[in-house]
Chain A
């Protein structure tokens, strides 16, 4: 059962049946899925709590339930970071640990929905344009659905991102030097072939999967509001989905109306088009032609959901922040050494921003802060290795008889 009813344009409110399309035929803006909320609210909360621990726990708020795809994705731990919190002067620092998803990133959530919708529409193959994490997530979800997958990536990704994609049987195409170039070509491919490219022609359904991140955070906090939620921004789609999922639970009465958390976004200094607009107080997002950062997952110069993300940060009283690559690595390693958790640079970026905001008083010592750690460190070992300061010793340094 789903309560999904129709697609609605985010700009002009024109409505469509649930169908394969990526944008409004009237004004070309993005489409979102709309639900029949009233029926839903009455029965949701108690139902949820009896369900198994994966994204389908919230299936009434997702399109196209599929009993095969997505079963390993989601319901990741919300960890309290005692030691890192102490180091940075925060009493209630929580980490939403999405590194434990099957392919090591939050992308297993939207990819599962993208592939489930491809199955729903009877498509013969799936694919994606990816900065690396969606690649493996789409290939893995495709293998659960027994569909071939075609994965479009830029040059220069960590080899572990490519190899994990190949392990799941995904066919990789390197389509250019930047994500934005790959994305443009993937659009042309989506037009040419009858494939479901999850973040292009299945995008309205794909992005719904990311709402489960906020559903889980709120449930794990006993349906109470944190003070801050910090989200890394690439295209801005995750923050947009988090906000929409949050609003849905509020309008359903699953969480209370007042005290919604401030939603904040972080991007690396070398590619921060959304944060730049926020910091300048501008309503215009200027695309970045050549992203220059080690945070490859966030190297999107022309963010598709940038305006939505900017608006959400402003409306919820959050902040935008853009730490340097050096700060990113410092925070990444601080997490490893205090909490025993290894995240990719994206998580380092979010944590570096939290450290800055704790220092400048934007986050109060006792406030509840939730940071989304969206990808595993093993994904970016190639990039991380250069920053390691412990040597690999040889055996002569040990006093043992050989």
Chain B
């Protein structure tokens, strides 16, 4: 199905019109924690196959948005709709996190959450196995289908690890990998669930320039080769500007701008949100947490 979003529908008065197949859409999502409103009627429209960046100052509500999309938080108001490429419309609001993952929305975490005592391979296998069917009885009895599932998950995990370039470290513990490798392992784990939408929460935070370049290339590859729509939170403006198709800006839980990277960069509201720092230079304190 194709949903047209014309410019008058898009808040923030974007000059460009967003047309295409919406994969993820939120309407009026509002999330409060006691007195704090972390998300205030957030409207998100994500096209299938695009790389959409979510930027904003610290505490703007970016991670809260991710948590709401993946079922970790349940917003008090609003609608979250996921339109699967396989057909079918699903409401993600209040969905259990594992159901969201099964539907095809995978994520990584801002504060890396790997299974530290398991090897890189095992970390990815866990994700791959959530798509396979082999119950405890067939495993205990060593039935062929249990063995087949084990082989399949092994294959998948190897494939994903080499995809992100970690195949040489597959037997190292998740917790002992370098920072950049941990981030990539998280991406491999997310990819092993064959997602349609991948949510990356500050994947470049704490990585060095080389790792950043590799990451940029990896995100592009995931997007073009695997056809995964990517929603990206990132403080590194250089990365955002070079990789994102569109950018959405949050401030105090509200969407203040949306559009092509160059336009957003020039938007006065965005400049103000970033405390008057000239957008042509380094607009945000990079990777600051």
A and B are partners in one complex rather than unrelated chains? no
Residues of B within 8 A of A (CB): none
Residues of A within 8 A of B (CB): none
